[in-house]
Amino acid sequence: MSNKLRDRSQRHDVFHRKAKQAGFVARSVFKLEEIDQKHRLIKSGARVLDLGCRPGSWLQYAGRVAGNKAVLVGVDRTPLEVAIPGVRQLVGDVFQMEPKALLGELTHFDVVLSDMAPDTSGVRSMDQARSEGLFEHALSLAESLLAPGGHFVGKLFQGPDWQRLLIRARAGFEEVRTIKPAGSRQESIEQYVVAMRRKTIKTE
């Protein structure tokens, strides 16, 4: 094994061990933790929607931060394999789900999270396009489901539509930042778009 591959493997193992020691099901939790600690998105009692929630570490983190009064909703094509207290999970294709089904008895969410990623093909342009489609759908849901002042975090592979999607996010949120957390693999093209404080949309 080359030194570069060995370093990547060791880095992966460090995050994996830390996650297991802290009681999280996946190393991806540290991506959300870094984003949240920097921007303070998840408050006590928050209503959180997690799109593409498997294996569940983001819901686990949101539950710990938001506390017992949190309302957590997770969506994925496959059921969670771990029990997470207080989570209402919807199993199915997010593209086929109506916003009302996601809300249930709620009126709005405070935070919408999306760690959705495409089934990668190895063709960079195709994977970028699929990622952009997932991100844009997640952003559309956030625009319709977030309370004024709410926040959105979405994974996005950098591709041709990167700037267009950032411009769209800025139109609906007061502040938009991008971040590549330390938990992301160095060679990955993934970034996270953090859209903060949903604007109040005026209607005629």
**Residue of 69, 155, 180, 199 marked active site:** 155
69 is catalytic: no
Count of Cβ atoms closer than 10 Å to residue 89 Cβ: 17
* SS3 state of residue 113: strand
CA dihedral 109, 170, 59, 31 (to 10 degrees): -160
Which residues form the catalytic set? 155
